[in-house]
Amino acid sequence: MKIFLISFISLLMALSLVACKSVKISTSDISSSQTNGVNESETKKNGLTTISDNDDTAINSNKSSIPHKEQPAKDVRIRLTFNNKEIIVKMNDSPTSLNFVEKLPMTLSFKNYGGTEKISYLPQKLSTKGSPSGYDPSVGELAYYAPWGNICFYYHDFGYSTGLVPLGSIESGIEYLKSLDGDFTVTIKKY
């Protein structure tokens, strides 16, 4: 019973240290067998343990600074350049949007489709995990059509479509998109 109580108290201490996110833990303080079943990962290095939780932050005994987090997708902008013009798009905060930004830079050929959108097929499909099953885009939005693996800019109103995933909205330059006739090539980079 004493061993169980000591193990339980050690586990509680370790969990409270993880919650504080600023504590060094020695491998002699807590064994991995005492943390089995806890939703955390441990990495042992040079006698010290790094514990990380599910929000991508970590306690690292070798660093005194706060861990770096990725810039949220909602604060990311991309620049599309073509024919000495540019369009700036503010990306939304979704896994699919972030997946698209991670693949940049790229150069794509766009074409008109249905008199409402300009589309281009991506060399590789995007992840749609956690995305809505569809949506109703507005003029000036960038979207991903998962069934075909293409991105699209809407320059006319369009209705709800299953498989359509919002990526972002044009902040500037939509007038250039509306005036383009025929196929055109675009270079897309993170802004």
Angle (CA) 21-49-36 rounded to 5° is 90
CA nearest neighbour of 101 among 135, 68, 144: 144
Please report the domains of the chain, with CATH numbers, ordered by start residue: 2-59 (no CATH), 73-190 (2.40.100.20)
Q: What is the pLDDT of residues 92-128, one digit of tens each?
A: 999 999 999 999 999 999 999 998 999 999 999 999 9
Within 10 angstroms of residue 92's Cβ, the number of other Cβ atoms is 18
Q: Locate all alpha helices (DSSP H) within 21-155, ordered by sequence.
A: 95-102
The model's pLDDT over 51-106, given as tens digits with 9 standing for 90+, comes to 333 333 333 333 333 333 455 555 899 999 998 999 999 999 999 999 999 999 99
